Structure 1
Amino acid sequence: MRLLLATLLAATAAPTLAAAPTLSPQRSAATRAMFEKIVNMPTVIGRHQTPAMTQYLADQYIAAGFPAADVHVMPYHTGSATGEDDTAALIVRWRAAGTPKARPILLMGHMDVVEAKREDSTTDPFVLTEKDGYYYGRGTIDMKDGITGVTQALIDLRAAGFKPKRDIVVLFTGDEETNGIGAEKGASEWLDLLGHPEFGLNADGGGGGVLADGTPVGFTVQTAEKTFAGYTLTVRNRGGHSSKPRKDNAIYSLAHALDKIEAFRFEPMLNETTRAYFAARAKIEKGSLGNAMRAWLANPNDGQAADVIEADEKEVGLTRTRCVATRLFAGHADNALPQLATAMINCRIFPGIDPNAIQAELARIVADPTVVVTRNDNYVASIASPLRPDVVAAFTRAVTTLHPGFTVFPEMSTGASDARPFRVAGVPVYGTNGAMVVVPTDFRAHGKDERLPIKSLDENVVHWKLLLSDLAGK
């Protein structure tokens, strides 16, 4: 899931530059047609549309001149015993002219989206709707804009005669919003097809925004993300008749444990990405929040300053690991003492921290032998990618070409994406999408009336053309 930082206030005035490049009317129409086609496909788990979208995109690459032998539709199963979760990935390889100058660049994205109900939305979420300067529809920002941007950029570059000096490899997966098996396969059994890339550019990360009044907010390049991990608290009890209450009540024990988790704050920490982010923010943020940023950077042991940052709704999750209760289940009858009470705890763990260590920490926080803490997954710790100068510089050049005066910041996402298994496998990944939204009030991924500014769709295609010409053309 792409998460934009909604607090980056640009401090520089826009210089006078040549007009930014744009798409021709013909290419703009082709871009919109592709976007409409794939947004109208409800690529939700269980609806069986992701394989159809995969084949549609494969056909577009082949029609644009990419050799069929280098376009691979990869069916796979996400783990459901019922067969409802069959999906597919797309791998496309654009081979370098002559001898490659370096290992391939991997371009990443996911084709699946989160479910959306018609009755919960103003427009039909699976019919692209153009209204009030926006495209409405599920996936417009998470992340079929990125799928369209990457695909149309590659088609345009090939048509223009661009000759990459290193292979460019596309991996679009079909289950990022659920099990992430496509990314796991990409980082392991499909690595030969991907050419063992040197680094990845993820369209499911980064991006930019403006405030509602048009004030530039900035663009982020995502170089780290927190580890997604789930845990269950379980309390079992012999139960009994509700007319005979006892002190050992499973629901009360669970509630007390949740109170402790709610009150606990994990230790603040910085890495290369977040230090660079807060260093840039501290230069422009005023008031108590800016003072806290400057104090924490000066003294990373200043936990009070980190707490002030973490308490800000816009900055929450950036200073430490955070865990939160998301689901509850208890009891079996209105007139019986509960024999079972469980709670689901979702943690977003700071990169590099072992999820098993968080399990042990949760057990220590609860400090109740009747409350058992177990893990719900086997994810390993996410690893931050280094601030690679060539990628950051190319992304900055693409951004400032299209959006003069916008500042570029590194970003650690509090959410998770397909980048994690690649980073764990030693392939650094960078979120470098170029679409822009109105923030902080209007980021609607996974929510009601998801939408993208109409002009951002074409701009994102141009952004990817600039970025790839830079990184693959040298």
Structure 2
Amino acid sequence: MAADTVDLCSRLITFDTSNFGGGDSRGERAAAEWVAETLTDAGFAPTVLESAPGRASTVVRIPGTDPSAPALLVHGHLDVVPAEPADWSFDPFCGEVRDGAVWGRGALDMKDMDAMMLAVARSFGRTGHRPPRDIVMAFVADEEDTGAYGAGFLTDKHPDLFEGVTTAISESGGHAVHLPNGTRLYPIATGERGSAWMTLTARGTAGHGSRRNPDNAVSALARVLAELSAHPWPVHITPTVRALLDGLSAHLGIEVDPADPASLARLGEAARLVEATVSNTLNPTMLQAGYKHNVIPSEATGGVDGRILPGAEDAFFEVVDGILGDAVTREFASFAAPVSADHTTAEFAAMAAALRAHDPEALVLPYCMSGGTDAKAFARLGIAGYGFAPGTTPPGFSHWDFVHGVDERVLVDSLAFGVRVLDSYLRTDPRTGSAR
């Protein structure tokens, strides 16, 4: 399976599935069809569903030995963020295997997990193995934008594909984080901050740029954006973040103040798991107003990206609306509520056991993602989502820096470790803890 995963990851990267946002993408249909062909060759019956021309996802159900058992969804996205070739030291879509790594855009986000999913499915097909429960695998479009053409389309138009599914796993968890004492943490995501992408609009009186204008829309918007950007969001520790902090403190023998950056720094690499999830945040991201230097426009708009912790939604909008007042209005460009899952479940325990089976010294703790995934879409079907795409890297290799970054690559050793862990987990019945 390890060699198969490397080959599959390399091939997937060669599909340029760049997602530019706003409905503009490329390559998703071709990649989805190739995935379907690969699954068909393994003896399964996948379905390719197109939400719009070229925007396709592939879904397959692998039958388990107990059809009455709660089913599991394993989902990965086929699209990637764009890559500017001039910034890279190699072709971003080469998929080359060299120097112990597979190179190219999507290697870590998340064609590595897609390849692991395919490798496990092919192994099941080749050996005739049946997992203890039905496993639905979904290879989806559009995760790197709003998900409307991928997971959103599937949950809205084809919910029957996920009948009986109660739990899902996907990206952004299960990957090794090296701690200051030399041990390894494998954080599993059990929560995601919500996203509120909003367009703010200020309206005023148009006029000549040479005259005083106390009803200037640009000035009103600028004041509001400055205040939003400078707002000191209070610390809000969710149960997931508390479990992570308590576990790290006990393991490292230190006390950590989540409101103090210097204190968080004592966690080493793990500080990145905490620093963006102890409060809500909001950042201005876009501005648009006017058409000529000497004309005061009647309208100015700005885009902001708000991120909301589970349980802190009301407090977030109370602050935003208080700052906007009567001068500026808001409307959603996109909104996805925060989600969370229970880290005390048998499912979490089964993931932890799979990690420890291949790294006996693994410390496994829950954490909250600062961003978001397609888990939010599947949550609309009542499916509890976990970030569990296992992998490992040596100290000093910061895989976070390569996600959406330049010269992205995934280590061959990480793929080999990850597919073994995933295979162990998918063979396990979380109700009993036993593997087949």
Give CA deviations for 1:405-444 in whole Å, capped at 9, x if unaligned. 2211101101110101222432111111112346684412
Q: Aligned ranges for residues 65-214 of structure 1 at < 5 Å?
A: 65-66=43-44, 68=45, 71-77=46-52, 86-97=54-65, 99-181=66-148, 182-202=150-170, 204-211=171-178
Give CA deviations for 1:41-76 in whole Å, capped at 9, x if unaligned. 01123453111111111111111122x3xx111111
The counterpart of 2:4, out of the listed 30, 34, 40, is: 30
What is the distance in 1 between the residues matched to 2:71 and 2:177?
33
1:396 aligns with 2:352: yes
Unpaired segments ≥5 residues, structure 2: none
1:277–1:411 Cα contact (<8 Å) kept: yes
- Once the two structures are aligned, what percentage of the paired residues are identical? 26
The counterpart of 1:376, out of the listed 333, 344, 362, is: 333
| Secondary structure class of the residue paired with 1:96 | coil
What is the distance in 2 between the residues matched to 1:280 and 1:134?
32
**1:58 is matched with which residue?**
36
How far apart are 1:225 and its partner, in Å? 0.5
| Secondary structure class of the residue paired with 1:184 | helix
How far apart are 1:361 and its partner, in Å? 2.9
What is the distance in 2 between the residues matched to 1:88 and 1:305?
45
| Secondary structure class of the residue paired with 1:327 | strand
CA shift in 2, pair 1:152/1:95, >3 Å: same
Report the residue type matching 1:89 in the other structure: S
1:228–1:415 Cα contact (<8 Å) kept: yes
How far apart are 1:123 and its partner, in Å? 1.5
| Two-structure CA RMSD over aligned residues (Å) | 2.8
What is the distance in 1 between the residues matched to 2:105 and 2:260?
39
**2:202 is matched with which residue?**
235
1:90–1:171 Cα contact (<8 Å) kept: yes
Unpaired segments ≥5 residues, structure 1: 1-26, 78-82, 294-303
| Secondary structure class of the residue paired with 2:109 | coil
Deviates more, 1:145-154 or 1:278-287: 278-287
**1:261 is matched with which residue?**
228
| Secondary structure class of the residue paired with 1:332 | coil
**1:431 is matched with which residue?**
387
Alignment TM-score, normalising by the size of structure 1: 0.81
How far apart are 1:471 and its partner, in Å? 3.2
Alignment TM-score, normalising by the size of structure 2: 0.88
Report the residue type matching 1:121 in the other structure: W
1:260–1:366 Cα contact (<8 Å) kept: no
What is the distance in 2 between the residues matched to 1:460 and 1:307?
33
Give CA deviations for 1:394-413 in whole Å, capped at 9, x if unaligned. 21222122223221110110
Aligned residue pair count: 421
Q: Aligned ranges for residues 246-395 of structure 1 at < 5 Å?
A: 246-284=213-251, 290-293=255-258, 314=272, 315-354=274-313, 358-367=316-325, 369-377=326-334, 379-395=335-351
**2:368 is matched with which residue?**
412
How far apart are 1:226 and its partner, in Å? 0.8
CA shift in 2, pair 1:138/1:237, >3 Å: same
